Amino acid sequence: MRTIGVFDSGVGGISVLKEILKEFPNDNIIYFGDSLHAPYGDRSIEEIRRLCLKVSDFLVFDKEVDALVIACNTATGAAINIMQERYNIPVVGVVDNGVNEAINSTSNNLIGIIATPATVKMNIYPNTIFKLAPQNSVFQVECPLFVAMIENGWVDSIESDNLIKSYISKFSENIDTLILGCTHYPLITKYISRYFSGKIVNPAKETSKSLKKIIGDGKENLKYNPSRVFFVSGELQKFKKVAEEFLEQPIEDIRKIIL
């Protein structure tokens, strides 16, 4: 039976997993949340690559997944090319899929991006956008505090509301499309939409559709009972609590592991 591996620096990849489960209800899923090392976005590119390869080697060589989804923008930018060369299975990231949706969504060619410091530093979104649609103007804003707050359980408070407002207010009002350039951010879309009225792009949805085009829908697995296994490198119960809230279903099989 086919197994799809999904990994992120922590709980943010749940936004991608949620879409994967919709598209692939009959496949085994293994999710790895490297919350011990979160956020990746505050680390050097070399360190991000090292962490990514540890996790992906575990999923590919130890767990023998049949496809790998990098459910992290920072990891996608830092390591997807290396992974695609390293493994003989499909490896899909979130950046290209988010870019394609943004290009198709904007009506005035003004695209905003909110992301981690590392993702902004790598310029992976602007570079990809300009390569595909050079007529666009791209504006990036670093949001260094979002990931830690989401990992610890986002609370809708005056402080968190002011934080979102301070980040979004850095964009011109003319920007009509906003890419959530970190997979943690879709988990707080409803709060972000208080201050951004245009099109908000969640790359997770397009990523799951892209994977489906590559590996098929897995309907041949209908007769099997698929498994859902979660590996977490950090605090187990904290991850479980936040992940279940955003996944909107219980997590039964969750295991602590440090690679």
What's the CATH architecture for 3-93+206-256? Answer: 3-Layer(aba) Sandwich (3.40)
Position 223 confidence tier, pLDDT thresholds 50, 70, 90: low
* pLDDT single digits (tens) 3-13: 999 999 999 99
Q: pTM of the full predicted structure? A: 0.90
Of the listed 6, 182, 187, 232, which one is catalytic? 182
- Could you give the CA distance from residue 137 to residue 145 in angstroms, rounded to a whole number? 25
Q: Please identify which residue in the block is written with the tokens 């103007």.
A: 137
Note whether 59 and 172 are within 8 A (CB): no
Note whether 122 and 46 are within 8 A (CB): no
* pLDDT single digits (tens) 154-179: 999 999 999 999 999 999 999 999 99
Q: Looking at residues 66-70, what average pLDDT do you find?
A: 98
Of the listed 72, 110, 201, 232, which one is catalytic? 72
Q: Is the pLDDT of residue 218 over 90?
A: no
Q: Looking at residues 214-240, what average pLDDT do you find?
A: 87
Domain 95-203 has CATH 3.40.50.1860: yes
Q: Is the pLDDT of residue 1 over 90?
A: no
Tokens (6 digits) for 168: 């979004």
Q: What is the share, in percent, of the chain residues with pLDDT greater than 70? A: 98
Q: Looking at residues 233-244, what average pLDDT do you find?
A: 94
Neighbouring residues of 113: CB distance < 8 A, sequence distance ≥ 6: 120, 125, 126, 138, 139, 140, 141, 178, 179, 181
Rg (CA), the chain: 17
Which pLDDT belongs to residue 239? 95
Alpha-carbon torsion angle 62, 63, 69, 70, nearest 10: -40
Q: Looking at residues 67-75, what average pLDDT do you find?
A: 96
52 is catalytic: no
Q: Looking at residues 21-37, what average pLDDT do you find?
A: 95
182 is catalytic: yes
Which pLDDT belongs to residue 205? 86
Position 29 confidence tier, pLDDT thresholds 50, 70, 90: very high
Position 39 confidence tier, pLDDT thresholds 50, 70, 90: confident
Position 221 confidence tier, pLDDT thresholds 50, 70, 90: low
Q: Is the pLDDT of residue 68 over 80?
A: yes
- Could you give the CA distance from residue 101 to residue 114 in angstroms, rounded to a whole number? 15
Which pLDDT belongs to residue 220? 65
- Pinpoint the residues of the chain covered by CATH 3.40.50.1860: 3-93+206-256, 95-203
Q: Looking at residues 133-138, what average pLDDT do you find?
A: 97
Which pLDDT belongs to residue 222? 63
